[in-house]
Amino acid sequence: MDFIHRRPLMAAGLLVLLLGLLLSAFPIIPETKQAVVVRFGKPVAVLNQFEAGRPIGAAGAGISFRIPFIDQIVWIDKRVQDVDMQRQQVISTDQRRLEVDAFARYRIVDPLLMYIRAGTEAQLTEQLRPILGSEVRNELGRIEFAQLLTPERQGIMDSVRTSLNKIARQYGVEVLDVRIKRTDLPDGAPLSAAFDRMRTAREQEARSILAEGGKQAQIIRAQADADAARVYAASFGKDPDFYDFYRAMQSYQITFIGDGQEKASPTTIVLSPQNDYLKEFSGRPR
Amino acid sequence: MNIISGWGSRVRGLFADTKGPWGSGSGSGSGGGSEPPPDDGQGAGPWGEPPRKRRAGLNPAANVASLDELLRKRLRFGGGGGGGGGLPTRPSGALIFWAVLGFIALWLVFTSIHSISPGQRGVVLRFGRYSSTLGPGVGITLPSPIDRVTKIDVENIRNIDLGSDDANDLMLTGDQNLIDIAYQVRWNIRTPELYLFQLAQPDETIREVAESAMRSVVSRVSLNDAMGDRRAEIEAQVAESMQRILDSYRAGIQVQGIAIKQADPPAAVNDAFKQVTASQQKAQSYINGANAYALQLRQKAQGDATAFDKVYEQYKLAPEVTRRRMYYETMEQVLSKVDKTIIEAPGITPYLPLPQVQKSTQQQEAQQ
């Protein structure tokens, strides 16, 4: 107590120093990080290492211990990271080109190995990116263009993942997933050819739709004609002789008088007294 | 320990220095050599306070030989109740003690009671390690340096818009056509601790997964399906596929849904697509015309047949009479409306001035 009163500034300084020492001796390891403890350049321990299936908060993160000033901590992310492949051109077995974007998700499962082999996370990404690119190109180059677009694509990506994983393991990295983000036709000739094909396909479709419509219209008309014929036959067929007479009467009216909408052209009829209509003119012999 | 003792002596040396560390008046602080650098922000707070105050008071007194002399000087000034050596410090020491105590109490209250709103969860970290998740309401934790709480919105549904802003952002369909799709992903956080600790870039991940899932689904359907009535199915498939992928990352994210806002043919071939629509209309109009014709024809047939049937019914009752009657009626109607000539002698027909007869008829009509 006396020391504090006599030398307050110094006491405070010492206190702060002590606190700093304490804090640096007991580093706090966050959930999101793994820590490699390096003593004079030599890794001695790994803290909060990722373990598959261990629930969050189970163990690992939290307060830890190191020897101040001697042990350095290298922080390495524990979370799932992603690496994007540079967009590149893939040539399928049938010599067609496709621009492909892919990405991989990975996690550093062995931070020590990763620290030794790659150094920093940035360097790791730089090393994984070209590997991912070449794996994707190799795998996709083995198949036909049409297959790239079909469900089988997933199987292809699995094999990319497997082969990428083999390499990534050497860096203490586990690849969780590789996916194609985009597959596009390259600009220029392939794209315009695709547009042309689409355009002509549409034109073809338009014409066939028209032809189909015309055909249907024809069928509808013919069916109606047939139906009408059937109705007529059913009705008139009961007495063809009377129909002939009945229809003749109608026909005369329409021919000489008109059908009610249009008047018939003027007609002159020359009749002979022998005509059946005039038979009574001569006086019927009884 | 060598280092520490070395530092200690260095500190002592600093204080003993006749110039004094603040002699230059730069006020760059005593921190330079002695204070250990980082992360003691909270810890230093309460205890760091008193010396800092004194430091502030110190600056004007530039050329002091030693600390004790300085303190004496300050006493002589008799300024605003500052501390000093010897007896006079005791009451103000108590004041400082209570101030510190009050500060600590406030600190405890503010950092250990958390109010969490209904849509939120509070993720509690104890010394950096995940310990629990607080539900809505008031949550009590240990005070700040020990427990820290991150509040996360879980109910809030977030939107990501994808596609179509860029004219070249076309997707390939299963029939190797190109389609221009714009869609929106709606998602929220299902498990806040997974969301916080599993993925390095959750938002970017969702975006990429959405794009990958959408393209893979679109690559399985035809262009017409994607533009037309299978949209809902595509949306459901994408959502399901996204959820599966994100679950495999243990992302703690719930995909609420995908909405395809637009699915159009590329602008370059739009005219051809319009042509298809036009010919669909045209074909439909052909069919409509035929239908109208068919309807008309059937009705007429029905009408004719029914009329005949009616007459025939009557005709059967008295065939000969009806027949004659119809004959005479028709003849009356016909012959009353036409010009008639009755000629007795046979063989005269060629000499009849038929054209004149017709002309006169026409003139009559014109006059009428």
- pLDDT tens digit sequence for A157-171: 888 888 888 988 999
User: Helix A153-168 and helix A121-140: axis angle, to 10°?
Assistant: 140
pLDDT band at A154 (very low <50, low <70, confident <90, very high): low
With residue A205 as reference, give the H or E element that holds it: helix A189-236
CB atoms within 10 A of CB B247: 15
Give which of B334, B338, B365 to mutate to test A binding, by max A Cβ within 10 Å: B334
> A268-271 and B339-342: which strand pairing?
parallel
CA-atom Rg of chain A in angstroms: 48
Residue with tokens 């070249």: B168
What is the pLDDT, as a whole number, of residue B81?
Answer: 43
| CA B284 – CA A214 distance, rounded (Å) | 9
The rounded mean pLDDT for chain B is 74
Shortest Cα distance, chain A CAs vs residue B286, angstroms: 6
pLDDT over threshold 80, residue B14: no
Binary contact (B269, A195; C-beta < 8 A)? yes
pLDDT over threshold 70, residue A67: yes
Report which of B287, B234, B292 is spatially closest to residue B260, judged by C-alpha positions.
B234
- State pLDDT tens for residues A20-31: 888 788 888 888
pLDDT band at B286 (very low <50, low <70, confident <90, very high): very high
Lowest mean pLDDT, pick from A81-95, A172-186, B81-95:
B81-95
Which residues does chain A have within 8 Å of residue B85's beta carbon, measured at their own beta carbons?
5-6
Percent of chain B at pLDDT above 90?
17
Cβ-contact B25, B62 below 8 angstroms:
yes
What phi and psi, each to the nearest 5 degrees, are found at residue B341?
-135, 130
Binary contact (B279, A198; C-beta < 8 A)? no
Which residues does chain A have within 8 Å of residue B131's beta carbon, measured at their own beta carbons?
57
Lowest mean pLDDT, pick from A179-183, A198-202, A214-218:
A179-183
- State pLDDT tens for residues B164-186: 665 557 888 888 788 888 999 99
What is the pLDDT, as a whole number, of residue B362?
Answer: 61
Give which of B89, B169, B212 to mutate to test A binding, by max A Cβ within 10 Å: B212
Token pair listed for B222: 């035809």
Which residues are bridge partners to B342 per DSSP?
A: A271
Residue boundaries of the structural domains of chain B: 113-153, 158-265
Model-level pTM?
A: 0.63
Structurally, at CATH architecture level, domain B158-265 sits in 2-Layer Sandwich (3.30)
| CA B324 – CA B326 distance, rounded (Å) | 5
Report which of B67, B11, A20 is spatially closest to residue B75, judged by C-alpha positions.
B67
Average pLDDT of the residues in B288-305:
93
Q: Which residues contact B120 (CB under 8 A, 6 or more apart)?
A: B136, B151, B152, B153, B154, B155
Binary contact (B266, A199; C-beta < 8 A)? no
